[in-house]
Amino acid sequence: VRQRVDRIFAALETEVDAIVLWNASSHLTDSTFKYVSGVTRGGYEGCAAVLRKGLRPTLLVSTLEEESAHTASDSDVVAFQSQPALREILQITLASPRRLGVNADALVLAKANLLRELFDGVELVDVSAAISAARLVKDSDEIERVRHACDITNEVAADIPSMLREGLTEVQLAARIEQAIQSRGGRAAFNTIVCFGKNGSEPHYSPGDVPLRRGDMILVDFGSQWSDYCSDITRMYLFGGASSEQRAMFDVVRQAQASALELMRAGVAGKRVHQRAKEVIDATEFAGRFIHGTGHSIGLDVHDGGGLNDASEIMLAPGMILTVEPGVYVPGAGGVRIEDTVLVTADGPEVLTTVTKDLVEVAV
């Protein structure tokens, strides 16, 4: 964990006196707080972290989470009773900084304004690119956590065929999947997507009270979070035997995914992986039906910063973990997506979501 702060400072383009992370309330927290401290429990609403080059992080936590924070063995922990007290502690800790680094991608404007008030004339430097660059390459501890999260999804995905029966609704299947994740010690990393039949044409579809019918193609996109790290997988099932149209759509995506996976090795541009998947699809009858990026970095967040798309500036390197998930969407007919969570290694891609990605036909 200690090296994580070093990695952030090493990636900085502008020198700063310190970096301040400051969580807002409810869900509006910066997962970088957990990244630099290694804490895996607690929500840390309103808590802050001060990072300085070569030093242990200082965690400023509410007294409500003081005990949880002490699991961060490589950080100094200072507890505060109220937000005014936190502001005083920040002033004492930081003295008179000229330049403070902030993570503009996750710091809310109100906290940025407070920093400007607390430190007269301070310049806030956006260090989100350095944080993103550091977090993009996972260390061994992070890789093990994502691997465990993927193991849970593998087990659950293997169980999905046994959950299917005529009349089961999308909402019910999503609940069954999330229960299966929990019974293995994980949590749903995001709201499980289950699409029956033509509903598969909407990439971010939310499950409804739609019953399963014979002949339905089933798209399931879900992930587990384990010890704060996420996995993400999409698999396709067929309730009955596949029609030739369903099989054709599946085969194109399967081919696009395989072609993209081949490129998941160090030194390849993320943009190139996306282009490859797109080329494969656009050379078929489904040209123009692949309407999103090919993948995203995953870690503490499901969308952990950066991805595989036309705007990507990522150059693949060992330790990166990204999803590879091309798809084809035909409104009124349905859709197919196949998604793996993939670790980039020196030797090429290691697919962490090892469960079969065949179109699983379930006997009705």
Contacts with its own copies by CB under 8 A lie at 24-29, 31, 41-43, 45, 62-65, 67-68, 81-84, 102, 104-110, 112-113, 124, 126, 128, 171, 175, 178-179, 182-183, 185, 187, 190-191, 202-206, 291-292, 301-305, 311
How many other β-carbons are positioned within 10 Å of the β-carbon of residue 131?
29
The span from the first CA to the last CA of the chain, in angstroms, equals 50
Q: How far is the CB of 330 from its own copies (least distance, A)?
A: 14
Nearer to its own copies, 131 or 238 (CB): 131
Q: How far is the CB of 204 from its own copies (least distance, A)?
A: 4
At residue 155, what is the residue type?
E
Nearer to its own copies, 46 or 57 (CB): 46
Q: How far is the CB of 221 from its own copies (least distance, A)?
A: 12
The two tokens of residue 258 are 């395989």
The two tokens of residue 138 are 């996972």
Q: How far is the CB of 358 from its own copies (least distance, A)?
A: 26
Nearer to its own copies, 275 or 360 (CB): 275
Name the residue with tokens 């993939």.
Answer: 342
Nearer to its own copies, 124 or 324 (CB): 124
Main-chain dihedrals φ then ψ at residue 162, nearest 5 degrees: -75, -15
Q: Is 234 left (phi over 0), alpha (psi -120 to 50) or beta?
A: beta
Q: Which residues have C-beta within 8 Å of that of residue 283, sequence separation ≥ 6?
A: none
> In which element (H, E) is residue 33 found?
helix 32-37
> In which element (H, E) is residue 13 found?
none
Nearer to its own copies, 216 or 301 (CB): 301
Q: How far apart are CA 362 and CA 237, in angstroms?
A: 7
211: helix, coil or strand?
A: strand
Nearer to its own copies, 14 or 82 (CB): 82
Q: How far is the CB of 332 from its own copies (least distance, A)?
A: 12
> In which element (H, E) is residue 321 found?
strand 321-324
Q: How far is the CB of 348 from its own copies (least distance, A)?
A: 28
Dihedral sign of CA atoms 337, 338, 342, 347 in order: negative
Q: How far is the CB of 247 from its own copies (least distance, A)?
A: 25
